[in-house]
């Protein structure tokens, strides 16, 4: 009996294309399924369509459209390899009786680690000092050059979900005062464990923060939640860190804030789009560092994400409860 098919974009680095699925993803899935690449599928839809039981979506590929779903009569699930699924039209997909899943929990530590790394880098200006000491023009060291404290300062976390809470645990280890804004308040015991103070109003929290870290999912409500009004409320010495989605920050307002002294620095793992156009103003500013959306980019984390996606597909095909189903 032939294996059921899982539709994927392409293998990473195949035909010169980056950001495809990796060999370890293929190895995990081919324990039970056969991968069909989008290029092969499109060349002979009639041959493959009836055997496709799942679409594995990685970095928004392949695009999951209504047209595609209508071609797949036995599709059971769209399995997103990642936590964020704002690129998927979940109501549309579910209207066909197709389940949707993502891969939470397994990337929380890696993403929060990166958030703290960006915070530490921005606060202590590691990137610029490393560049300085590598420069052939550097012949002496300015011992009176000083950066920002981290320990004992105040962090405001925008979004206290799983990743936000992991960030708070790490911030506590640095003896930071922890403030947070979330659509709902955490349990008092959870607050006490990290010494966090809740603000129902974001704008009331911002003036108190030395660092603001955004960990929210991107939704209609969180789109550009950090905008001109918010930057004007922050300390001129404050540092913004974004490890959520680029769309949660108004980038034009951020450029203005950074060039007009409203905030001191920004450290971004996410932008909109990714990568930014090469002439984007953010890329020319010295008080910005940008990393390539690498929050989950560790080997063990990506293997765990692939495994969770696989487990979701198996559950959908077997008719059992999905480990991490998305409903809306």
Q: What residues act catalytically?
A: 245, 274, 293
**Number of neighbouring beta carbons within 10 Å of residue 163:** 27
Inter-axis angle of helices 108-124 and 126-134, nearest 10: 60
Contact, 222 vs 246, CB < 8 A? Answer: no
Contact, 222 vs 248, CB < 8 A? Answer: yes
Angle among Cα 49, 70, 17 to the nearest 5 degrees reads 60
Distance CA 308, CA 162 (A): 17
């Amino acid at each position: 009996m032939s294996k059921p098919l899982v539709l994927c974009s392409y293998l990473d680095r195949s035909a010169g294309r980056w950001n495809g699925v990796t060999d370890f993803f293929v190895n995990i899935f081919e324990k039970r399924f056969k991968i069909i690449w989008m290029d092969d599928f499109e060349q002979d839809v009639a041959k493959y369509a009836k055997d496709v039981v799942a679409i594995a979506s990685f970095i928004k590929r392949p695009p999951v459209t209504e047209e595609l779903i209508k071609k797949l009569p036995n599709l059971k699930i769209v399995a997103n390899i990642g936590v964020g699924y704002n690129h998927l039209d979940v109501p549309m997909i579910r209207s066909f009786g197709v389940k949707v899943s993502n891969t939470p929990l397994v990337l929380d530590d890696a993403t929060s680690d990166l958030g703290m790394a960006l915070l530490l880098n921005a606060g202590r200006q590691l990137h610029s000092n490393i560049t300085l000491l590598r420069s052939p023009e550097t012949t002496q060291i300015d011992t009176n050059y000083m950066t920002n404290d981290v320990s004992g300062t105040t962090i405001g976390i925008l979004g206290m979900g799983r990743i936000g809470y992991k960030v708070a645990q790490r911030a506590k280890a640095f003896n930071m005062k922890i403030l947070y804004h979330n659509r709902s308040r955490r349990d008092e015991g959870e607050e006490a464990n990290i010494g966090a103070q809740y603000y129902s109003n974001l704008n009331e929290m911002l003036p108190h923060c030395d660092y603001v870290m955004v960990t929210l999912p991107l939704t209609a409500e969180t789109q550009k939640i950090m905008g001109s009004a918010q930057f004007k409320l922050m300390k001129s010495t404050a540092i913004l860190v974004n490890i959520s989605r680029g769309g949660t920050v108004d980038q034009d307002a951020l450029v203005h804030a950074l060039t007009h002294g409203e905030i001191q620095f920004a450290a971004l793992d996410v932008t909109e789009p990714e990568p930014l156009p090469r002439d984007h103003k953010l890329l020319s500013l010295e008080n910005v560092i940008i990393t390539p959306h690498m929050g989950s980019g560790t080997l063990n984390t990506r293997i765990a994400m692939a495994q969770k996606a696989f487990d979701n597909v198996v559950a959908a095909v077997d008719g059992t409860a999905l480990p991490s189903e998305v409903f809306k």
